Amino acid sequence: MNEWYLTILIFLPLVGAVILLFMPGTAHALMRNVALGVSLIAFAVSVPLWFLYDFGAGAAQFQLLQSGDWVPSLGIKYKVGVDGISLLLVLLTTFLTPLTILSTYRAIDTRVKEFVVLLLLLETAVLGTFLALDLFLFYVFWEAVLIPMYFLIGVWGGERRIYAAIKFFLYTMAGSVLMLVAILTIYFLSGDSGSRTFDLATLIATVRVESGLQLWLFAAFALAFAIKVPMFPLHTWLPDAHVEAPTAGSAILAAVLLKMGTYGFLRFCLPLFPEAVETAVPLMAFLAVVGIVYGALVATMQRDVKKLVAYSSVSHLGFIMLGMFALTPEALQGSLIQMVNHGLSTGALFLLVGMLYERAHTRLIHQFGGVARLMPVFAAFFLIVLFSSIGVPFTNGFVGEFLILVGTFRAEELFLQPLAIIAASGVVLAAVYMLWMYQRMMQGPTRQPAGVQLSDITRREIAVLVPIVLLIFWIGLYPKPFLDRAGPSLDAVTRNIPVAQVQAGLGGR
């Protein structure tokens, strides 16, 4: 059973999508409930991963492996497995998908069948991306994510939805094509015609690429992943996609899809191209810090609250990238835990903005005031998630940002202390734009759009938010279980990077 465990998890949403295709298109309530039920079953199937995963001795190895020939003449395998990195991201995906579907019960009333089918297809593609251990299989799942997300933005989005969908598709596709060239290059370097392979573990263990070519291959992979993150200056597709996407699309995009880029750096760039990683650290760290400050400053100037949250993602993901390329144990752990934290806090912010938009049909900050008097429960949830986003102690955001900044300060071999100091200003700027937005919308004299009578959130909407808030406090108060599961796998991906090993020694590990 263990051999098929991950395959069942990956394709369970796909099975649900196929079932939905045969249901009558007018049975909207039934289709929503079936989609929610399938996503809840997928979450229930994924929960045992938390307990089955052995994070003791030998935890750096992939577990629950399933491997079989797919195209044996080309060395292509169907191979999936989980480690401490993918474990957290898989659970994040299965946790948030049912909450996102539940949030759409009032928001989506046209083409409901197609909408929920696309959400389930998207879940299968994302899970496959996080669990694939064959580069060709990874690429198939990576590209498969584009299709449902393109239609979610292009069909159910705002006025400029076609522009945003095409921009999202073209940016991602441009980076993916270069990554495919790099994958094929590594494949041809892996042996002669009878022994070539796309197997990740084999490639890490046996393929040694000379320094010059490493830089080019790293650049090809890094471009694809940096677009998906997105890193400055490749971020321009993100605000358009977020603003035009429906609420569920924005939440999944921010919470899960952006993590495909950061995951790609950890899973492929660091272990496959260790020399190139060391060479690229100054540039990557610099761009990360520019993204932190730039994203925060631009967020401060936004009039649309959804666009503010979108630019805050650029800033927060800059922290994740800085921690990753600081290459210290603390910073790497902070980077991974912040991927989860950003998924929870920013995903929840988009859901909250969507709940307000359903009532007011506007997202302009200046049209609101004193909302806390009219929607006290909504305002309380908004404040908790906002505190998480800006990293207030006892929330999950504090844990991730603290580890990243401490780990970057300890990157003595890479001389990153000045960048760490500049990055710390991003924490202050986040408090500025988030608290200023909250003060204008939730406090002061009561103001609401003309013809609108705001009412507080329903029990269904509370059910969407409560699980996220519980996780925010769990990680903020007791992050140890998450760090324990991630630590050995993070050590493994930097095993071939000399400066990372030196810094691990300096860190006392």
Domain assignments of the chain as residue spans, ordered by start: 2-506
- Cα 174 to Cα 215: distance, rounded to the nearest angstrom: 19
Please compute the mean of the pLDDT values over residues 284-294 and round it to a whole number. Answer: 95
**364 - beta bridge partners?**
304
- What's the confidence (pLDDT) of residue 25? 77
Write out pLDDT tens, residues 233-282. Answer: 988 898 889 888 898 989 999 899 999 999 999 999 999 999 999 999 99
Q: What is the pLDDT of residues 460-479, one digit of tens each?
A: 999 999 999 999 999 999 99
The pLDDT score that the predictor gives to residue 508 is 43
pTM summary value: 0.93
Six-digit token string for 267: 């899973």
Backbone angles phi, psi at 71, to 5 degrees: -125, 80
Residues 413-466 have pLDDT tens digits of 778 899 999 999 999 999 999 999 999 999 988 888 888 888 999 999 999 999
Instruction: Give percent above pLDDT 70 in the chain.
Output: 98
304 forms bridges with which residues in the sheet? 364
Find the mean pLDDT for residues 149-157. 91
Query: In the predicted model, what is the mean pLDDT of the chain?
Result: 91
Q: What is the pLDDT of residues 217-246, one digit of tens each?
A: 999 999 999 999 989 898 889 888 988 889
Per-residue model confidence (pLDDT) at position 57: 56
pLDDT digits (tens, 9 = 90+) for 367-417: 999 999 999 999 999 999 999 999 999 999 999 999 999 999 888 777 889
Mean pLDDT along residues 191-215: 86
* Backbone φ and ψ of 76, nearest 5°: -95, 130
Angle between helix axes 329-360 and 84-103 (nearest 10 degrees) is 10
What residues have CB less than 8 Å from 96, skipping those under 6 apart? 251, 252, 255, 256, 343, 344, 347, 468
